[in-house]
Chains A and B, each alone.
Chain A
Amino acid sequence: MSDLKITGLHKYYGSFHAVKGIDLEVPSGEFTVLVGPSGCGKSTLLRTIAGLEEASEGTVEIGNKDVTWARPRDRDIAMVFQNYALYPYMDVFENIAFGLRARKFATAEIDKRVNNAAEMLGIGPLLKRLPRELSGGQRQRVAIGRAIVRDARLFLFDEPLSNLDAQLRDDMRVEIKRLHQDLGRTMIYVTHDQIEAMTLADRIVLLRDGRIEQLGSPLDLFERPANLFVASFLGSPKMNFIPATLDGNTAVLSDGNKLALVGKRQGKAKQPVILGIRPQHVALSGKTAAIGHAQVKVTVELVQPTGSRVQVAFPLGGKSVVAELESRDVSKPGEKISIDIDMARAIVIDPQTEKVI
């Protein structure tokens, strides 16, 4: 059963076309992340699901009920906002209880639910405090608490972590993931942060320019991107893109290096292509079995240690290519090294259509 079904959704703001025909079905219990660069329409999509924006075209169904024209409160949803949206004049308890009171729950039930939620989020001792007396992380917990007490069918998160500092963001990410596992509820989460998307999602919906670019599990998108945009958006450090020419089953780079492709690529002979190689799919020669690997000699240009790994930049095929190697593989710029590129995981992109071949 699906908890959310969106069909042919369009959203216009005057002449601006923000959402351009989205079809999406979210199965019950799934954690779906809407991700994309700013202005891609992900927040608009979420707000349309919530009923805070009206759909210009198309339908939204929640729990097999058409709610396209329903008010937000009649949609059986709970939402967590970016800026917490806590009422400054109410204490934590009242903030969490707000939605229950609005829906006329009995006092005993409210007490029970608020205390449960507070316990779950570890904010039990803070119930009598005012929002201004809380830290950012605590506020975000209260905001999440306000959503989970509602026990709604659909939980919506609109960039809930983007106001927190990096350390806290990591902690809260874990918390949200655990919450989803414990509650087993359908959650839709908007973020522009690809790491958040990768770590949290059961399924990622990658948006650009009001359209879905690709949708699938994080690993799907990471390993089998459909096009140049998806390939470049996910992964850190970013995927390397090197212009090349196809020669049979070999990609010839502009500096003469030849990289043998693995598997069948349907490209015309002498066709110009873009070769996509993830920094993680490059290793120092000799450390891994070289089957399906292309060996290249390069001169190190830049070394950025990250502790466990080291990011190394070197010129290859007219581009500065980044590889993530073992931390002691390279020590300083100017070093000449031989690298193995895992060509089975490399992608070939048609520069005309930007689609993966």
Chain B
Amino acid sequence: MKSLPFHRRKDVRLAFRYLIACLLVVIFVFPVYWLFIISFKTPDEIFAFPPVWYPKSIQFSNYFVLFKDGDAKTVLNSLILASVSTFFAMILGTMAAYSLVRFKTGGENLAVWIISQRMMPPVAIVFPVFLLYVFFGWVDTFFGLILLYTAFNLPYVIWMMRGYIEDIPLELEESALVDGCSRWEVLWKVVMPMARSGLFATAVFTFVFAWNEFLFALVLTRTEVTTYTVQVTHYFGGQSNFWAKIAAMSVLGTIPVFIAVATMQRYLVRGISMGAVKG
């Protein structure tokens, strides 16, 4: 029997495919690895040439410094801002979306107007917001940033949740109304569970947005509620950069998002595809 030419054999093609996949993974993961590994290096190792691909001993002094100086507290600040603003944006946004879908609040145009708010470049309103916040005394307060992040995320939440709620069969809600639920109970007992995947998927994106927000955090904070994104920039000096701190802080800042996405992955995939492939 004549065998296939080498390059057309199934196992060879598979091996080739894996090879390319591995190569791509290395290219994409290497910067993350490098960041991660720097955070465990001594200053000498960081600047050593040829580079140290992996440190001889893992040492935590870079992290230790962050916690000792209180820099790590900025991660906690970010966590509070992102969580609380996500919570409120989800609650308010879901209610608003429900109203848009079921009661046709504002007709067809209100929904488009709401999402158009999201398209405005944030930097365009930094100045007025700053003046406003100075006037009300909200600069460098948790309240101020939570309010802002909630407001910024609302259009996105409303828009996303609107799609998910539209997919819920009306009969489910009507059945609940007949069975003895009020509109509020319908929202809690039927709409929220039905849109659960969508809720979680939207919440993750909302959380990540607030987590990564830099511009307003920079302008509207001083010392009290400095976020980790702002804190990291403090390590880029005019003369030299604190690579160890940057790396350690970046790792710290990645962990919460990593956990959020990992735990929600199941809902995320379902939630995103749910919105994508409609009935």
Residues of A within 8 A of B (CB): 50-52, 71-73, 75, 77-79, 81-83, 85, 87-89, 98-99, 102-103, 146, 150, 156
Contact = CB atoms under 8 A, between A and B. Distances in A.
Interface in B186-242: 189-190, 193-194, 196
A71 B190 CA distance: 18
Contacts of B185: 102
A89 B179 contact: no
A52 B175 CA distance: 10
A52 B189 CA distance: 18
Contacts of A73: 177-182
A72 B181 CA distance: 9
A81 B179 contact: no
Interface string B87-124: 00000000000000000000000000000000000000
B44 interface: no
Contacts of A85: 169, 171-172, 174-175
Q: Is the interface of A mostly helix, strand, loop or mixed?
A: loop
Interface of B: 169, 171-172, 174-182, 185, 189-190, 193-194, 196
Contact of A87 (B177, B178, B193): B193
Given A79-B178, A83-B169, A146-B179, 16 more contacts: A50-B174, A50-B178, A51-B178, A77-B178, A78-B178, A79-B175, A82-B171, A85-B172, A87-B193, A89-B194, A98-B179, A99-B179, A102-B179, A103-B180, A146-B175, A150-B179
Most buried by A among B174, B178, B181, B193: B178
B177 to A, nearest CB: 4
B199 to A, nearest CB: 13
B190 A52 contact: no
A270 B196 CA distance: 72
B177 A72 contact: yes
Lowest 8 CB-CB distances: which A-B pairs, in order?
Answer: A99-B179, A102-B180, A85-B175, A85-B171, A72-B177, A73-B180, A81-B171, A103-B180
A286 B114 CA distance: 79
Given A83-B169, A89-B193, A71 B177 contact: yes
17 contacts: A50-B178, A52-B178, A73-B178, A73-B179, A78-B178, A79-B174, A81-B171, A85-B172, A85-B175, A87-B194, A89-B196, A98-B179, A99-B180, A102-B180, A102-B189, A150-B179, A156-B178
B174 A81 contact: yes
A150 to B, nearest CB: 7
Contacts of B175: 79, 81, 85, 146
Contacts of B176: 98, 102
Nearest to A79: B178
Nearest to B193: A89
B165 to A, nearest CB: 15
A88 B172 CA distance: 10
A77 B177 CA distance: 11
Contacts of B180: 73, 99, 102-103
Given A83-B169, A87-B172, A72 B178 contact: yes
A26 B179 CA distance: 22
A199 to B, nearest CB: 25
A52 B194 contact: no
Most buried by B among A75, A77, A99, A156: A99
Contacts of A77: 178
A52 B172 contact: no
B244 to A, nearest CB: 48
A83 B173 CA distance: 12
Contacts of A150: 179
Nearest to B185: A102
B177 A52 contact: yes
Contacts of A146: 175, 179
A98 B178 CA distance: 11
A237 to B, nearest CB: 34
A99 B196 CA distance: 21
B167 to A, nearest CB: 12
B270 to A, nearest CB: 13
Contacts of B174: 50, 52, 72, 79, 81, 85
A79 B175 CA distance: 7
A190 B171 CA distance: 15
A60 B181 CA distance: 21
Contacts of A51: 177-178
Nearest to A103: B180
A9 B263 CA distance: 54
A1 B181 CA distance: 29
A67 to B, nearest CB: 13
A150 B171 CA distance: 18
B65 to A, nearest CB: 48
Contacts of A81: 171, 174-175
A175 B90 CA distance: 45
Contacts of B172: 85, 87
Nearest to B177: A72
Contacts of B182: 71, 73
A343 B133 CA distance: 91
A82 B171 CA distance: 8
Given A98-B176, A98-B179, A87 B171 contact: no
Nearest to A75: B178
A270 to B, nearest CB: 56
A146 B179 CA distance: 9
A50 B189 CA distance: 20
B176 to A, nearest CB: 7
A52 B177 CA distance: 8
